[in-house]
Structure 1
Amino acid sequence: MSEYLRRHDGVVTLAQARAAGLSKHSVSRHVRSGRWRRCSEGVYFADDRPFTDAARVRAAVWSYGDRAAASGLAAAWWHGLTGFAPPVVEVTVPRDSNGRVHDGSVVRRRDLADPDVDEVRGLRVTAAPLTVLEAAVKRRDGAKLFDAALQRDFHLRELWQVHLRNKGRHGSPAARRLLRAAGDGARSEGERLLVGILQRAGLSGWQANYPLSGYVIDIAFVAAKVAIEVDGFAFHSDHEAFQNDRLRQNVISVAGWQILRFTWLDLTEYPERVLATIRAAIRA
Protein backbone atom coordinates (compact mmCIF):
# COMPACT_ATOMS: atom_id res chain seq x y z
CA MET A 1 0.00 0.00 0.00
CA SER A 2 2.85 2.43 0.75
CA GLU A 3 4.19 2.08 -2.80
CA TYR A 4 0.70 2.58 -4.19
CA LEU A 5 0.27 5.76 -2.16
CA ARG A 6 3.66 7.02 -3.29
CA ARG A 7 2.77 6.55 -6.96
CA HIS A 8 -0.65 8.16 -6.52
CA ASP A 9 0.28 11.29 -4.59
CA GLY A 10 -0.94 9.85 -1.30
CA VAL A 11 -4.54 9.47 -2.55
CA VAL A 12 -6.49 6.22 -2.45
CA THR A 13 -10.12 5.21 -2.85
CA LEU A 14 -11.94 2.71 -0.67
CA ALA A 15 -12.23 0.32 -3.62
CA GLN A 16 -8.49 0.57 -4.29
CA ALA A 17 -7.67 -0.02 -0.62
CA ARG A 18 -9.94 -3.07 -0.55
CA ALA A 19 -8.32 -4.40 -3.73
CA ALA A 20 -4.92 -4.02 -2.02
CA GLY A 21 -6.11 -6.23 0.84
CA LEU A 22 -7.32 -3.70 3.42
CA SER A 23 -10.68 -4.27 5.02
CA LYS A 24 -13.24 -1.55 5.43
CA HIS A 25 -12.55 -1.71 9.16
CA SER A 26 -8.82 -1.14 8.53
CA VAL A 27 -9.59 1.91 6.40
CA SER A 28 -11.84 3.30 9.18
CA ARG A 29 -9.07 2.71 11.69
CA HIS A 30 -6.60 4.67 9.52
CA VAL A 31 -9.07 7.56 9.41
CA ARG A 32 -9.79 7.51 13.15
CA SER A 33 -6.08 7.47 13.97
CA GLY A 34 -5.45 10.49 11.76
CA ARG A 35 -3.13 8.62 9.42
CA TRP A 36 -5.62 9.01 6.58
CA ARG A 37 -7.74 12.07 5.91
CA ARG A 38 -11.15 11.70 4.29
CA CYS A 39 -11.35 13.93 1.21
CA SER A 40 -14.83 12.89 0.09
CA GLU A 41 -17.04 9.81 0.24
CA GLY A 42 -14.73 6.85 -0.40
CA VAL A 43 -11.61 8.93 -1.15
CA TYR A 44 -8.74 9.30 1.33
CA PHE A 45 -5.36 10.97 1.62
CA ALA A 46 -2.45 9.54 3.61
CA ASP A 47 -1.69 12.52 5.80
CA ASP A 48 2.02 11.81 6.29
CA ARG A 49 3.04 13.96 3.29
CA PRO A 50 2.23 17.36 1.74
CA PHE A 51 -1.18 17.68 0.10
CA THR A 52 0.18 18.72 -3.28
CA ASP A 53 -1.66 20.07 -6.33
CA ALA A 54 -1.37 16.60 -7.84
CA ALA A 55 -3.07 15.11 -4.78
CA ARG A 56 -5.78 17.78 -4.93
CA VAL A 57 -6.53 17.13 -8.61
CA ARG A 58 -6.45 13.36 -8.21
CA ALA A 59 -8.72 13.43 -5.16
CA ALA A 60 -11.19 15.72 -6.93
CA VAL A 61 -11.44 13.47 -9.98
CA TRP A 62 -11.66 10.22 -8.00
CA SER A 63 -14.41 11.69 -5.84
CA TYR A 64 -16.76 11.43 -8.86
CA GLY A 65 -16.17 7.74 -9.51
CA ASP A 66 -14.15 5.62 -11.87
CA ARG A 67 -15.77 7.04 -15.03
CA ALA A 68 -14.76 10.63 -14.24
CA ALA A 69 -11.89 12.39 -16.00
CA ALA A 70 -9.97 15.59 -15.39
CA SER A 71 -10.66 18.10 -18.15
CA GLY A 72 -10.07 21.72 -19.08
CA LEU A 73 -7.20 23.49 -17.33
CA ALA A 74 -6.83 20.67 -14.79
CA ALA A 75 -6.16 18.23 -17.63
CA ALA A 76 -3.83 20.73 -19.31
CA TRP A 77 -1.75 20.96 -16.14
CA TRP A 78 -1.76 17.18 -15.72
CA HIS A 79 -0.47 16.76 -19.29
CA GLY A 80 2.25 19.34 -18.66
CA LEU A 81 0.76 21.87 -21.10
CA THR A 82 0.53 24.61 -18.44
CA GLY A 83 2.77 25.48 -15.54
CA PHE A 84 0.23 25.94 -12.76
CA ALA A 85 -2.64 23.84 -11.47
CA PRO A 86 -5.98 25.68 -11.54
CA PRO A 87 -7.58 26.51 -8.18
CA VAL A 88 -10.81 24.79 -9.24
CA VAL A 89 -10.59 21.33 -10.78
CA GLU A 90 -12.80 20.70 -13.81
CA VAL A 91 -14.09 17.14 -13.92
CA THR A 92 -16.00 15.57 -16.79
CA VAL A 93 -18.49 12.84 -15.92
CA PRO A 94 -20.91 10.84 -18.11
CA ARG A 95 -24.31 12.38 -18.77
CA ASP A 96 -26.08 9.73 -16.72
CA SER A 97 -24.01 10.47 -13.61
CA ASN A 98 -25.67 11.97 -10.57
CA GLY A 99 -24.63 13.22 -7.18
CA ARG A 100 -23.67 16.54 -5.69
CA VAL A 101 -20.76 18.71 -6.78
CA HIS A 102 -17.87 18.76 -4.32
CA ASP A 103 -16.10 21.89 -3.13
CA GLY A 104 -13.07 22.86 -5.20
CA SER A 105 -14.37 21.32 -8.39
CA VAL A 106 -16.73 22.03 -11.26
CA VAL A 107 -18.52 19.30 -13.19
CA ARG A 108 -19.24 18.96 -16.88
CA ARG A 109 -21.66 16.23 -17.86
CA ARG A 110 -21.02 14.74 -21.29
CA ASP A 111 -20.10 11.44 -22.89
CA LEU A 112 -16.53 11.32 -24.19
CA ALA A 113 -15.49 9.10 -27.09
CA ASP A 114 -12.80 6.53 -26.28
CA PRO A 115 -10.08 8.36 -28.29
CA ASP A 116 -10.73 11.50 -26.22
CA VAL A 117 -9.88 9.90 -22.87
CA ASP A 118 -6.44 8.88 -21.70
CA GLU A 119 -4.88 7.58 -18.50
CA VAL A 120 -1.84 9.52 -17.35
CA ARG A 121 -0.03 8.51 -14.15
CA GLY A 122 -3.02 6.46 -13.09
CA LEU A 123 -5.60 9.24 -13.58
CA ARG A 124 -8.26 9.46 -16.27
CA VAL A 125 -7.95 12.75 -18.16
CA THR A 126 -9.19 14.11 -21.45
CA ALA A 127 -6.70 13.11 -24.16
CA ALA A 128 -4.07 15.71 -25.00
CA PRO A 129 -5.55 16.95 -28.34
CA LEU A 130 -8.99 17.61 -26.82
CA THR A 131 -7.33 19.13 -23.77
CA VAL A 132 -5.39 21.59 -25.96
CA LEU A 133 -8.59 22.79 -27.65
CA GLU A 134 -10.56 23.11 -24.43
CA ALA A 135 -7.85 24.67 -22.28
CA ALA A 136 -6.86 27.23 -24.93
CA VAL A 137 -10.30 28.82 -24.93
CA LYS A 138 -10.43 29.03 -21.13
CA ARG A 139 -7.35 31.22 -20.71
CA ARG A 140 -6.95 34.87 -21.64
CA ASP A 141 -3.60 33.93 -23.18
CA GLY A 142 -4.98 30.73 -24.66
CA ALA A 143 -3.54 31.50 -28.09
CA LYS A 144 -0.08 31.08 -26.53
CA LEU A 145 -1.01 27.63 -25.27
CA PHE A 146 -2.41 26.69 -28.68
CA ASP A 147 0.64 28.04 -30.48
CA ALA A 148 3.03 26.20 -28.14
CA ALA A 149 1.12 22.94 -28.65
CA LEU A 150 1.42 23.22 -32.42
CA GLN A 151 5.15 23.71 -32.09
CA ARG A 152 5.35 20.43 -30.18
CA ASP A 153 3.91 17.10 -31.35
CA PHE A 154 0.35 18.21 -32.08
CA HIS A 155 -0.88 18.25 -35.67
CA LEU A 156 -3.51 20.62 -36.98
CA ARG A 157 -5.38 17.89 -38.84
CA GLU A 158 -5.70 15.82 -35.66
CA LEU A 159 -6.97 18.83 -33.72
CA TRP A 160 -9.59 19.50 -36.39
CA GLN A 161 -10.77 15.87 -36.16
CA VAL A 162 -11.08 16.13 -32.39
CA HIS A 163 -12.97 19.42 -32.72
CA LEU A 164 -15.47 17.98 -35.21
CA ARG A 165 -15.97 14.89 -33.04
CA ASN A 166 -16.85 17.13 -30.09
CA LYS A 167 -18.91 19.83 -31.79
CA GLY A 168 -21.37 21.62 -29.57
CA ARG A 169 -19.23 21.50 -26.44
CA HIS A 170 -18.62 24.60 -24.34
CA GLY A 171 -16.07 26.84 -26.09
CA SER A 172 -16.47 25.13 -29.47
CA PRO A 173 -16.86 28.37 -31.52
CA ALA A 174 -13.73 29.89 -29.99
CA ALA A 175 -11.78 26.70 -30.67
CA ARG A 176 -12.92 26.77 -34.28
CA ARG A 177 -11.55 30.31 -34.64
CA LEU A 178 -8.19 29.17 -33.29
CA LEU A 179 -8.11 26.25 -35.72
CA ARG A 180 -9.00 28.48 -38.66
CA ALA A 181 -6.34 30.99 -37.68
CA ALA A 182 -3.76 28.21 -37.49
CA GLY A 183 -4.68 26.75 -40.87
CA ASP A 184 -5.15 28.08 -44.36
CA GLY A 185 -7.21 30.98 -43.04
CA ALA A 186 -4.39 32.28 -40.86
CA ARG A 187 -3.59 35.35 -42.92
CA SER A 188 -7.18 36.37 -43.63
CA GLU A 189 -8.23 35.80 -40.02
CA GLY A 190 -5.28 37.89 -38.85
CA GLU A 191 -6.08 40.64 -41.31
CA ARG A 192 -9.61 40.89 -39.95
CA LEU A 193 -8.23 41.18 -36.43
CA LEU A 194 -5.82 43.92 -37.50
CA VAL A 195 -8.53 45.86 -39.35
CA GLY A 196 -10.67 45.72 -36.20
CA ILE A 197 -7.78 47.05 -34.09
CA LEU A 198 -7.23 49.95 -36.50
CA GLN A 199 -10.91 50.79 -36.71
CA ARG A 200 -11.44 50.77 -32.95
CA ALA A 201 -8.42 53.05 -32.55
CA GLY A 202 -9.80 55.46 -35.13
CA LEU A 203 -6.68 55.26 -37.33
CA SER A 204 -7.22 56.26 -40.94
CA GLY A 205 -5.09 56.57 -44.05
CA TRP A 206 -4.63 52.84 -44.56
CA GLN A 207 -5.66 50.50 -47.35
CA ALA A 208 -6.09 46.74 -47.24
CA ASN A 209 -4.60 44.51 -49.95
CA TYR A 210 -2.55 47.31 -51.49
CA PRO A 211 -0.62 46.32 -54.67
CA LEU A 212 3.10 47.15 -54.68
CA SER A 213 5.96 45.94 -56.90
CA GLY A 214 4.11 42.81 -57.97
CA TYR A 215 2.98 41.92 -54.46
CA VAL A 216 -0.09 42.67 -52.36
CA ILE A 217 0.50 44.26 -48.96
CA ASP A 218 -1.93 43.18 -46.25
CA ILE A 219 -2.34 46.69 -44.79
CA ALA A 220 -0.63 49.76 -46.23
CA PHE A 221 -0.34 53.29 -44.84
CA VAL A 222 0.44 54.74 -48.27
CA ALA A 223 1.39 58.31 -47.32
CA ALA A 224 3.77 57.10 -44.60
CA LYS A 225 5.03 54.20 -46.74
CA VAL A 226 4.44 51.70 -43.95
CA ALA A 227 3.58 48.15 -44.99
CA ILE A 228 2.04 45.79 -42.44
CA GLU A 229 2.20 42.05 -42.99
CA VAL A 230 0.20 39.51 -40.98
CA ASP A 231 1.86 36.14 -40.52
CA GLY A 232 -0.82 34.11 -38.78
CA PHE A 233 0.48 31.88 -36.00
CA ALA A 234 4.19 32.05 -35.26
CA PHE A 235 4.63 28.36 -36.07
CA HIS A 236 2.79 28.50 -39.37
CA SER A 237 5.60 28.67 -41.88
CA ASP A 238 7.36 26.00 -43.89
CA HIS A 239 10.73 26.54 -45.59
CA GLU A 240 9.29 27.59 -48.96
CA ALA A 241 6.86 30.05 -47.37
CA PHE A 242 9.71 31.46 -45.29
CA GLN A 243 11.85 32.06 -48.38
CA ASN A 244 8.97 33.66 -50.31
CA ASP A 245 8.22 35.99 -47.39
CA ARG A 246 11.85 37.10 -47.20
CA LEU A 247 11.92 37.83 -50.95
CA ARG A 248 8.66 39.74 -50.72
CA GLN A 249 9.98 41.73 -47.76
CA ASN A 250 13.19 42.66 -49.56
CA VAL A 251 11.32 43.87 -52.65
CA ILE A 252 9.02 46.05 -50.54
CA SER A 253 12.01 47.47 -48.62
CA VAL A 254 13.86 48.32 -51.82
CA ALA A 255 10.76 50.25 -52.92
CA GLY A 256 11.35 52.53 -49.93
CA TRP A 257 8.72 51.16 -47.53
CA GLN A 258 9.08 50.33 -43.85
CA ILE A 259 7.75 46.86 -43.07
CA LEU A 260 6.05 45.80 -39.85
CA ARG A 261 5.26 42.13 -39.26
CA PHE A 262 2.77 40.86 -36.69
CA THR A 263 1.71 37.31 -35.92
CA TRP A 264 -1.82 36.23 -35.10
CA LEU A 265 -0.54 35.77 -31.58
CA ASP A 266 0.54 39.45 -31.45
CA LEU A 267 -2.88 40.58 -32.59
CA THR A 268 -4.82 38.49 -30.10
CA GLU A 269 -2.58 38.82 -27.04
CA TYR A 270 -0.89 42.23 -27.44
CA PRO A 271 -3.18 44.50 -29.49
CA GLU A 272 -2.14 47.65 -27.59
CA ARG A 273 1.51 46.95 -28.29
CA VAL A 274 0.70 46.38 -31.97
CA LEU A 275 -1.15 49.66 -32.10
CA ALA A 276 1.68 51.57 -30.40
CA THR A 277 4.20 50.17 -32.89
CA ILE A 278 2.06 51.17 -35.87
CA ARG A 279 1.54 54.69 -34.53
CA ALA A 280 5.26 55.12 -33.97
CA ALA A 281 6.02 53.94 -37.50
CA ILE A 282 3.54 56.23 -39.29
CA ARG A 283 4.76 59.21 -37.26
CA ALA A 284 8.42 58.60 -38.10
Structure 2
Amino acid sequence: MLEDYLRRQDGVVTLAQARRSGLSEDAVRHRIRAGQWRRCGNGVYFADDRPFTSAARIRASVWSRGRLAAASGLAAAWWLGLVSSPPDIVEITVPRNSHGRAAAGTCLRRRDLAEVDVVEHRWLLVTAPALTVIEAAGRNPAIMDTALQHRVELGHLEQAHDRNRGRRGAAASRRLLNAAAGGARSEAERLMLRLLEGAGVTGWQANFAIGGYIVDIAFPAQRVAIEIDGWAFHSDQAAFQNDRVRQNRLALQGWQVLRFTWLDLTQHPERVLAHIRSAVSAR
Protein backbone atom coordinates (compact mmCIF):
# COMPACT_ATOMS: atom_id res chain seq x y z
CA MET A 1 0.00 0.00 0.00
CA LEU A 2 2.84 2.40 0.82
CA GLU A 3 4.43 1.92 -2.60
CA ASP A 4 1.05 2.58 -4.23
CA TYR A 5 0.80 5.87 -2.38
CA LEU A 6 4.31 6.92 -3.33
CA ARG A 7 3.90 5.94 -6.97
CA ARG A 8 0.65 7.78 -7.59
CA GLN A 9 1.46 10.76 -5.35
CA ASP A 10 4.81 11.80 -6.85
CA GLY A 11 6.76 10.31 -3.95
CA VAL A 12 4.83 12.30 -1.33
CA VAL A 13 3.02 10.62 1.56
CA THR A 14 1.25 11.84 4.69
CA LEU A 15 1.66 10.51 8.19
CA ALA A 16 -1.93 9.24 8.13
CA GLN A 17 -1.24 7.31 4.92
CA ALA A 18 1.97 5.87 6.37
CA ARG A 19 0.02 4.64 9.38
CA ARG A 20 -2.63 3.06 7.16
CA SER A 21 0.22 1.28 5.39
CA GLY A 22 1.36 -0.27 8.69
CA LEU A 23 4.16 2.12 9.68
CA SER A 24 4.43 3.45 13.21
CA GLU A 25 5.60 6.97 14.01
CA ASP A 26 8.91 5.46 15.18
CA ALA A 27 9.30 3.80 11.77
CA VAL A 28 8.65 7.12 10.05
CA ARG A 29 11.23 8.88 12.24
CA HIS A 30 13.72 6.13 11.46
CA ARG A 31 13.31 6.70 7.72
CA ILE A 32 13.89 10.42 8.24
CA ARG A 33 17.06 9.85 10.31
CA ALA A 34 18.33 7.37 7.74
CA GLY A 35 17.88 9.94 4.95
CA GLN A 36 15.26 7.81 3.20
CA TRP A 37 12.46 10.31 3.73
CA ARG A 38 12.45 14.09 3.82
CA ARG A 39 10.06 16.04 6.02
CA CYS A 40 8.28 18.62 3.84
CA GLY A 41 5.80 19.96 6.37
CA ASN A 42 3.59 19.01 9.26
CA GLY A 43 2.85 15.32 8.71
CA VAL A 44 4.01 15.35 5.06
CA TYR A 45 7.05 13.45 3.76
CA PHE A 46 8.90 12.79 0.52
CA ALA A 47 10.70 9.53 -0.30
CA ASP A 48 14.18 10.59 -1.40
CA ASP A 49 14.80 7.62 -3.69
CA ARG A 50 13.28 9.55 -6.63
CA PRO A 51 13.51 13.07 -8.14
CA PHE A 52 11.73 15.89 -6.33
CA THR A 53 9.59 17.02 -9.25
CA SER A 54 7.41 20.11 -9.65
CA ALA A 55 4.39 17.92 -8.98
CA ALA A 56 5.97 16.69 -5.73
CA ARG A 57 6.79 20.27 -4.72
CA ILE A 58 3.25 21.49 -5.29
CA ARG A 59 1.62 18.45 -3.68
CA ALA A 60 3.83 18.64 -0.59
CA SER A 61 3.27 22.40 -0.26
CA VAL A 62 -0.51 22.06 -0.42
CA TRP A 63 -0.76 19.03 1.88
CA SER A 64 1.42 20.78 4.44
CA ARG A 65 -1.35 23.35 4.91
CA GLY A 66 -3.96 20.81 6.03
CA ARG A 67 -6.69 18.67 4.52
CA LEU A 68 -8.84 21.65 3.39
CA ALA A 69 -6.04 23.43 1.55
CA ALA A 70 -6.26 23.65 -2.24
CA ALA A 71 -3.77 24.63 -4.94
CA SER A 72 -4.96 27.80 -6.66
CA GLY A 73 -3.87 30.42 -9.18
CA LEU A 74 -1.04 29.43 -11.50
CA ALA A 75 -0.28 26.33 -9.41
CA ALA A 76 -3.80 25.03 -10.04
CA ALA A 77 -3.58 26.10 -13.69
CA TRP A 78 -0.45 23.98 -14.15
CA TRP A 79 -1.90 21.06 -12.21
CA LEU A 80 -5.01 21.09 -14.45
CA GLY A 81 -2.94 21.36 -17.65
CA LEU A 82 -3.97 24.93 -18.50
CA VAL A 83 -0.35 26.13 -18.69
CA SER A 84 2.80 24.26 -19.60
CA SER A 85 5.24 25.63 -17.01
CA PRO A 86 4.93 25.20 -13.23
CA PRO A 87 5.08 28.42 -11.17
CA ASP A 88 8.02 29.26 -8.94
CA ILE A 89 5.65 30.23 -6.13
CA VAL A 90 2.90 27.79 -5.14
CA GLU A 91 -0.34 29.62 -4.42
CA ILE A 92 -2.50 27.84 -1.85
CA THR A 93 -6.02 28.75 -0.75
CA VAL A 94 -6.84 27.84 2.84
CA PRO A 95 -9.94 28.43 5.00
CA ARG A 96 -10.31 31.94 6.36
CA ASN A 97 -9.82 30.83 9.97
CA SER A 98 -6.59 28.93 9.31
CA HIS A 99 -3.38 29.97 11.08
CA GLY A 100 0.31 30.03 10.31
CA ARG A 101 2.55 31.83 7.87
CA ALA A 102 3.34 30.88 4.32
CA ALA A 103 6.40 28.68 3.95
CA ALA A 104 9.21 29.61 1.59
CA GLY A 105 8.15 29.21 -2.02
CA THR A 106 4.43 29.48 -1.24
CA CYS A 107 1.75 32.17 -1.13
CA LEU A 108 -1.36 31.80 1.04
CA ARG A 109 -4.84 33.01 0.19
CA ARG A 110 -7.26 32.83 3.12
CA ARG A 111 -10.76 32.41 1.77
CA ASP A 112 -13.67 30.01 2.28
CA LEU A 113 -14.39 28.38 -1.07
CA ALA A 114 -17.77 27.09 -2.19
CA GLU A 115 -17.91 23.34 -2.71
CA VAL A 116 -18.42 23.82 -6.44
CA ASP A 117 -15.15 25.77 -6.65
CA VAL A 118 -12.95 22.89 -5.46
CA VAL A 119 -12.15 19.63 -7.25
CA GLU A 120 -9.83 16.71 -6.58
CA HIS A 121 -7.47 16.01 -9.46
CA ARG A 122 -4.73 13.39 -9.23
CA TRP A 123 -5.38 13.04 -5.50
CA LEU A 124 -4.90 16.74 -4.78
CA LEU A 125 -7.46 19.44 -4.02
CA VAL A 126 -7.29 22.31 -6.49
CA THR A 127 -9.60 25.15 -7.39
CA ALA A 128 -12.12 24.09 -10.04
CA PRO A 129 -11.32 24.96 -13.68
CA ALA A 130 -13.56 28.04 -13.90
CA LEU A 131 -12.21 29.65 -10.73
CA THR A 132 -8.67 28.64 -11.65
CA VAL A 133 -8.99 30.38 -15.02
CA ILE A 134 -10.29 33.69 -13.69
CA GLU A 135 -7.63 33.76 -10.94
CA ALA A 136 -4.68 32.69 -13.10
CA ALA A 137 -5.71 34.98 -15.97
CA GLY A 138 -4.89 37.94 -13.75
CA ARG A 139 -1.24 36.93 -14.12
CA ASN A 140 -1.51 35.58 -17.67
CA PRO A 141 -4.60 36.74 -19.63
CA ALA A 142 -3.90 34.29 -22.46
CA ILE A 143 -5.02 31.50 -20.11
CA MET A 144 -8.61 32.72 -20.34
CA ASP A 145 -8.58 32.84 -24.13
CA THR A 146 -7.08 29.35 -24.38
CA ALA A 147 -9.49 27.93 -21.82
CA LEU A 148 -12.50 29.42 -23.59
CA GLN A 149 -11.40 27.73 -26.80
CA HIS A 150 -11.18 24.25 -25.30
CA ARG A 151 -12.09 23.85 -21.64
CA VAL A 152 -14.73 26.13 -20.13
CA GLU A 153 -17.71 28.27 -21.06
CA LEU A 154 -17.87 32.01 -20.54
CA GLY A 155 -21.00 31.62 -18.40
CA HIS A 156 -19.16 29.32 -16.00
CA LEU A 157 -16.39 31.90 -15.62
CA GLU A 158 -18.97 34.59 -14.90
CA GLN A 159 -20.58 32.42 -12.21
CA ALA A 160 -17.24 31.61 -10.58
CA HIS A 161 -16.38 35.32 -10.53
CA ASP A 162 -19.72 36.23 -8.93
CA ARG A 163 -19.28 33.56 -6.23
CA ASN A 164 -15.88 34.96 -5.34
CA ARG A 165 -16.40 38.71 -5.30
CA GLY A 166 -13.99 40.64 -3.13
CA ARG A 167 -11.05 38.35 -3.71
CA ARG A 168 -7.69 39.75 -4.71
CA GLY A 169 -7.59 40.38 -8.47
CA ALA A 170 -11.38 40.41 -8.89
CA ALA A 171 -11.39 43.80 -10.63
CA ALA A 172 -8.85 42.63 -13.23
CA SER A 173 -10.89 39.47 -13.81
CA ARG A 174 -14.02 41.54 -14.35
CA ARG A 175 -12.28 43.57 -17.05
CA LEU A 176 -11.10 40.41 -18.78
CA LEU A 177 -14.58 38.88 -18.65
CA ASN A 178 -16.13 42.04 -20.08
CA ALA A 179 -13.61 42.04 -22.90
CA ALA A 180 -14.20 38.36 -23.63
CA ALA A 181 -17.97 38.81 -23.66
CA GLY A 182 -17.70 41.57 -26.25
CA GLY A 183 -15.03 39.91 -28.35
CA ALA A 184 -12.70 42.81 -27.49
CA ARG A 185 -12.25 43.82 -31.11
CA SER A 186 -13.60 47.37 -30.86
CA GLU A 187 -11.56 47.99 -27.71
CA ALA A 188 -8.50 46.51 -29.43
CA GLU A 189 -8.91 48.92 -32.33
CA ARG A 190 -9.06 51.87 -29.92
CA LEU A 191 -5.99 50.55 -28.11
CA MET A 192 -4.08 50.33 -31.39
CA LEU A 193 -4.92 53.90 -32.33
CA ARG A 194 -3.86 55.19 -28.91
CA LEU A 195 -0.68 53.12 -29.13
CA LEU A 196 0.29 54.59 -32.50
CA GLU A 197 -0.57 58.14 -31.46
CA GLY A 198 1.25 57.84 -28.14
CA ALA A 199 4.38 56.52 -29.85
CA GLY A 200 4.34 59.32 -32.42
CA VAL A 201 3.93 56.91 -35.35
CA THR A 202 2.55 58.76 -38.40
CA GLY A 203 1.60 58.00 -41.98
CA TRP A 204 -1.33 55.72 -41.19
CA GLN A 205 -5.05 55.87 -41.88
CA ALA A 206 -7.84 54.04 -40.08
CA ASN A 207 -10.56 52.09 -41.92
CA PHE A 208 -8.74 52.27 -45.23
CA ALA A 209 -10.26 50.84 -48.44
CA ILE A 210 -8.11 48.41 -50.46
CA GLY A 211 -9.51 46.62 -53.50
CA GLY A 212 -12.97 46.03 -52.10
CA TYR A 213 -11.84 45.49 -48.50
CA ILE A 214 -11.69 47.84 -45.52
CA VAL A 215 -8.63 47.25 -43.38
CA ASP A 216 -8.46 48.48 -39.81
CA ILE A 217 -5.31 50.55 -40.26
CA ALA A 218 -3.11 51.13 -43.31
CA PHE A 219 0.19 52.78 -44.12
CA PRO A 220 -0.63 53.56 -47.79
CA ALA A 221 2.82 54.81 -48.77
CA GLN A 222 4.48 51.61 -47.55
CA ARG A 223 1.53 49.33 -48.41
CA VAL A 224 1.39 47.87 -44.90
CA ALA A 225 -2.01 46.88 -43.54
CA ILE A 226 -2.84 46.13 -39.91
CA GLU A 227 -5.76 43.91 -38.96
CA ILE A 228 -7.05 43.74 -35.39
CA ASP A 229 -8.58 40.60 -33.91
CA GLY A 230 -10.48 40.09 -30.69
CA TRP A 231 -10.26 36.86 -28.71
CA ALA A 232 -9.36 33.65 -30.49
CA PHE A 233 -12.25 31.74 -28.90
CA HIS A 234 -14.73 33.88 -30.86
CA SER A 235 -13.32 32.70 -34.18
CA ASP A 236 -14.99 29.81 -35.96
CA GLN A 237 -13.67 27.88 -38.93
CA ALA A 238 -15.56 30.00 -41.47
CA ALA A 239 -14.19 33.24 -40.02
CA PHE A 240 -10.69 31.79 -39.95
CA GLN A 241 -10.95 30.81 -43.62
CA ASN A 242 -12.38 34.18 -44.67
CA ASP A 243 -9.56 36.00 -42.91
CA ARG A 244 -6.98 33.95 -44.80
CA VAL A 245 -8.66 34.52 -48.17
CA ARG A 246 -8.79 38.24 -47.46
CA GLN A 247 -5.15 38.31 -46.34
CA ASN A 248 -3.98 36.42 -49.44
CA ARG A 249 -5.82 38.80 -51.77
CA LEU A 250 -4.27 41.80 -50.06
CA ALA A 251 -0.84 40.19 -50.41
CA LEU A 252 -1.42 39.64 -54.12
CA GLN A 253 -2.08 43.36 -54.43
CA GLY A 254 1.33 44.05 -52.90
CA TRP A 255 0.33 44.66 -49.30
CA GLN A 256 2.04 43.24 -46.24
CA VAL A 257 -0.54 42.34 -43.60
CA LEU A 258 0.19 42.33 -39.87
CA ARG A 259 -2.37 40.82 -37.49
CA PHE A 260 -2.58 41.63 -33.79
CA THR A 261 -4.97 40.52 -31.06
CA TRP A 262 -6.35 42.25 -28.01
CA LEU A 263 -3.92 40.20 -25.94
CA ASP A 264 -0.97 41.41 -28.06
CA LEU A 265 -1.96 45.02 -27.46
CA THR A 266 -2.57 44.69 -23.74
CA GLN A 267 0.32 42.39 -22.87
CA HIS A 268 3.03 43.18 -25.44
CA PRO A 269 2.50 46.74 -26.77
CA GLU A 270 6.21 47.43 -27.27
CA ARG A 271 6.57 44.29 -29.35
CA VAL A 272 3.58 45.36 -31.47
CA LEU A 273 5.17 48.75 -32.11
CA ALA A 274 8.51 47.14 -32.98
CA HIS A 275 6.87 44.88 -35.58
CA ILE A 276 5.00 47.79 -37.14
CA ARG A 277 8.07 50.01 -37.30
CA SER A 278 10.12 47.19 -38.79
CA ALA A 279 7.51 46.50 -41.48
CA VAL A 280 7.06 50.18 -42.37
CA SER A 281 10.78 50.94 -42.52
CA ALA A 282 11.50 47.91 -44.71
CA ARG A 283 9.12 48.93 -47.51
Q: TM-score range by the shorter chain?
A: 0.7 to 0.9
Q: TM-score, normalised by structure 2?
A: 0.83
Residues 208, 169 of structure 1: alpha-carbon distance in 2 compared, 3 angstrom cutoff: farther
- Amino acid corresponding to residue 182 of structure 2 in structure 1: D
Deviation per CA, 1:77-136, whole angstroms, max 9, x where unpaired? 111222222222111101011123222211111111112111111111111222122222
Q: Does 224-233 or 35-44 show the bigger shift?
A: 224-233
Counterpart of 2:165 in structure 1 is 167
Distance in 1 of aligned mates of 2:41 and 2:251 = 65
- 2:22 matched residue in structure 1: 21
TM-score by length of 1: 0.83
- Residue deviations 1:4-24, cap 9 Å, x none? 111111211222222333333
Q: Counterpart of 1:44 in 2: which secondary structure? A: strand
Cα distance change of structure 1 residues 214 and 179 upon mapping to structure 2, 3 Å threshold: farther
Larger mean CA deviation between 237-246 and 101-110 belongs to 237-246
What displacement does 1:68 show? Answer: 0.2
Give the CA deviation at 1:145: 2.9
Does 1:143 pair with 2:141? Answer: yes
Q: 2:271 and 2:77 mapped to 1: Cα distance?
A: 28
* One-letter amino acid of the structure 2 residue matched with residue 191 of structure 1: E
* Deviation (angstroms), 1:212: 8.3
Inter-partner Cα distance in structure 1 for 2:261 and 2:121: 34
Aligned ranges 1:49-68 → 2 under 5 Å: 49-68=50-69
Residue 177 of structure 1 is matched in structure 2 by 175
1:268 to 2:266 alignment:
yes
Give the secondary structure class of the aligned counterpart of 2:45: strand
- Aligned 1:1-284 pairs, distance under 5 A: 1-138=2-139, 142-206=140-204, 208=206, 217-220=215-218, 227-239=225-237, 241-242=239-240, 260-279=258-277, 284=283
Q: Percent identity?
A: 61
Distance 1:168-1:219 versus aligned 2 partners, 3 A rule:
farther
Deviates more, 1:232-241 or 1:243-252: 243-252
Q: The residue matched to 1:183 in structure 2 has which SS?
A: helix
- CA deviations 1:127-148 (Å, max 9, x no partner) are 122212222222xxx2333332
Extract unaligned runs of 5+ from structure 1.
none
Secondary structure (helix, strand or coil) at the match of 1:149 reads helix
C-alpha RMSD over aligned residues: 3.0
Return the alpha-carbon distance in structure 1 between the equivalents of residues 185 and 237 of structure 2: 17
Instruction: Give, in whole Å, the separation in 2 of the partners of 1:82 and 1:118.
Output: 18
Residues 143 and 268 of structure 1 are in contact (CA less than 8 Å); yes or no, is this contact kept in structure 2?
no
* TM-fit CA distance, 1:238: 2.4
Are the counterparts in 1 of residues 260 and 272 from structure 2 also a CA contact under 8 Å? yes
Describe the SS at the equivalent of 1:45.
Answer: strand
CA contact (8 A) 1:57 1:89 kept: yes
Relative distance call for 1:41 and 1:247 in structure 2 (3 A) is closer
Q: Kindly provide the CA deviation profile for residues 5-53 of structure 1, in whole angstroms up to 9, marking residues without a partner as x.
A: 1111121122222233333333223323332221122111122222222
Distance in 2 between residues matched to 1:5 and 1:257, nearest whole Å: 60
Equivalent pairs counted in the alignment come to 281
Change in 2 beyond 3 A, CA 1:261/1:84: closer
Q: Higher mean Cα deviation, 226-235 or 56-65?
A: 226-235
Separation (CA, whole Å) in 2 of partners of 1:120 and 1:219: 46
Contact 2:133 2:147 in 1 (8 A): yes
Distance 2:137 2:117 in 1: 16
Give 3-state SS (helix, strand or coil) of 1:176's partner: helix
The AA in structure 2 aligned to 1:144 is A
